[in-house]
Amino acid sequence: MKLAVFFHLGGDIDVLSPFLSPFPGGEIKIIVSEKLLATNHRLSIVLDAYGLEPEEVLSHRSSRDELRNAISDCSHLLTSSESNLNPHRLAFALTQEANHLGLLTATLQHGVENIGLTYFDEYQGPEVRFASQQVLTWNGTRSLLPDVCSETREKVIDVGLPSARPDPAFDELFEAMEFNPEGRKVIGIFENLHWTRYSDDFRRKFLDDLQQATELFPDLLFVTKPHHEGRWLTERFQGDRPENSNLLIIDPKSHEWSLLTAPTLLPSMVGVITTPSKVALDASLAGLPVAIASYDGQYAYYNDLVSLSMSNDWFEFLRKVDAGPDDFGATQNEAFIGKTVSSVRAPQRVNDALLKKVSQSATISSSRPQQRKSLACENGG
């Protein structure tokens, strides 16, 4: 068995890193997108930690022959950000070629609100498809939206959440930064406000309430981290930003901070306020009180967690985080985790799903060799 692991977008790095150790009796082949390799230093750090390096580099300009050549010596292809949506088109095309070659293909759920599975909007709806033969999700079909097509449902396999933490190499980088020399309690503020799902009024209220929070709780340190790809507050927003001596706004494009994602930062925090995102799950798994900025939006999936729809909600949440009790938020976290994932830190469930597919394919191939070839072509789309 030879598994090709394709790193396409920045979010793939933490999702796919649990699978960089070879399978028993197997091999790993690293394939990366040209843009990711050139712009994201986190990838090199992770690969170095495993003594690996890219064997193939692909781009949107890669021909079908180049895609096929990159995987022609492999038996499996594993991706994370793969679908027929434009941002995922390179992984989608590579998976189609893998299907044509007869490889076994699988893609991993990469977010609480994953396009095509657990999230649709007016721009991205039920027409989303996956080329992969297996869609490996955190809790099977339990969280799938009703409009998810039967083709996708039939591909879904429950593997739980393979990992909840980035590679330990990033912990060392974070500890060396000494960003909080005074040792204050840290509140994490995570914003992903570039999404079309948010109104201008939502964005304005979020910034106004953040400013007011820093003034009402001067002894807390508010560390605000914009989304790595969205960078709304540090790049897209052109107005006056919140400012205070106890407010640190991280620039995701700076060399040091670009290497660190939310799960690495969370152990240094005592509470989290976030826009709807996977950060809510990461913080719940870290045992932190979590609040979801909601305002004029409806975010039913996060109903187990504290909702911030007005300024006073921020005050009450921060007051409880600052004063206790120590188990504040524990019940809400447990409910949210139980609804979202069937297991945590069990990457062998992915391995088992791939190996089971190998066994099934071997049986089909020995009894009906022509049918397996036909299925491979059909899955190629």
How far apart are alpha carbons 130 and 106 in whole angstroms?
9
Residue type, 289: P
359 phi, psi to nearest 5 deg? -60, -45
pLDDT above 60 (res 363): no
Prediction pTM value? 0.89
Q: How does pLDDT run across 78-99, given as a tens digit for each residue?
A: 999 999 999 999 999 999 999 9
Q: How does pLDDT run across 101-137, given as a tens digit for each residue?
A: 999 999 999 999 999 999 988 888 889 999 999 999 9
Report the chain's mean pLDDT, rounded to a whole number. 90
Residue 357 pLDDT: 61
How far apart are alpha carbons 291 and 311 in whole angstroms?
13
pLDDT above 80 (res 366): no
Q: How does pLDDT run across 340-351, given as a tens digit for each residue?
A: 999 998 999 999
CA dihedral 163, 169, 175, 176 (to 10 degrees): -160
CATH architecture of 169-340: 3-Layer(aba) Sandwich (3.40)
Domain 2-163+345-379 and domain 169-340, same fold? Reply is: yes
Q: Where are any strands of DSSP class E within the chain? A: 2-7, 27-33, 56-58, 76-79, 104-108, 134-137, 156-158, 186-191, 221-226, 247-249, 271-274, 290-293, 306-308
State the average pLDDT over residues 353-365: 58
CATH architecture of 2-163+345-379: 3-Layer(aba) Sandwich (3.40)
Burial zone of 119 (CB within 10 Å; 0-12 exposed, 13-18 middle, 19+ buried): middle
189 phi, psi to nearest 5 deg? -115, 115
Residue 364 pLDDT: 33
pLDDT above 60 (res 360): no
**Residues of the chain with pLDDT > 90: what percent?**
75
How far apart are alpha carbons 333 and 95 in whole angstroms?
36
pLDDT above 80 (res 367): no
Q: How does pLDDT run across 51-82, given as a tens digit for each residue?
A: 999 999 999 999 999 999 999 999 999 999 99
pLDDT above 80 (res 373): no
The larger pLDDT score, comparing residue 296 to residue 273, is at 273
Residue 358 pLDDT: 56
Average the pLDDT over each of 184-193, 243-252, 281-290, 370-379 and give the range with the smallest value: 370-379
Q: Which residues contact 102 (CB under 8 A, 6 or more apart)?
A: 372, 373, 376
Domain-by-domain residue ranges, the chain?
A: 2-163+345-379, 169-340
How far apart are alpha carbons 334 and 304 in whole angstroms?
9
pLDDT above 90 (res 171): no
With H, G, I as helix, E, B as strand and everything else as coil, classify residue 225.
strand
Q: How does pLDDT run across 316-333, given as a tens digit for each residue?
A: 999 999 998 788 999 999
pLDDT above 90 (res 376): no
pLDDT above 70 (res 372): no
How far apart are alpha carbons 330 and 137 in whole angstroms?
25
pLDDT above 70 (res 32): yes
Give the ranges where 217-347 is alpha helix by DSSP (H): 262-265, 279-285, 311-323, 330-340
